[in-house]
Amino acid sequence: MTKTEQNEARYATHGYKDRDDYLNTLADDRGIDSMAVHMIADMLGESEDFDGLVSELEDFEELGLA
């Protein structure tokens, strides 16, 4: 399995088509602009998608930025 296939499987395991689908869903669910979510996700890297990214978005909400 290639790295791309592994990454896609990771998101599929959580019920998403791929990373883009996951990030867009996070943006929609939290009322945050999808471009902002993508930018934060890109800065943090894929390894933080299900942990650090979620924490950052929670901080956004707490600060009233969402």
CA-based end-to-end distance of the chain: 38
Q: What is the pLDDT of residues 6-48, one digit of tens each?
A: 777 889 999 999 999 999 999 999 999 999 999 999 999 999 9
- Which residue from 16, 19, 22 is spatially nearest to 4, judged by alpha carbons? 19
Question: What's the whole-model pTM score?
Answer: 0.85
pLDDT category of residue 56 using cuts at 50, 70 and 90: very high
Instruction: Return d(Cα 35, Cα 7) in angstroms, integer.
Output: 21
- Which residue from 43, 63, 62, 51 is spatially nearest to 26, judged by alpha carbons? 51
Q: What is the pLDDT of residues 30-39, one digit of tens each?
A: 999 999 999 9
Helix or strand or coil: residue 21? helix
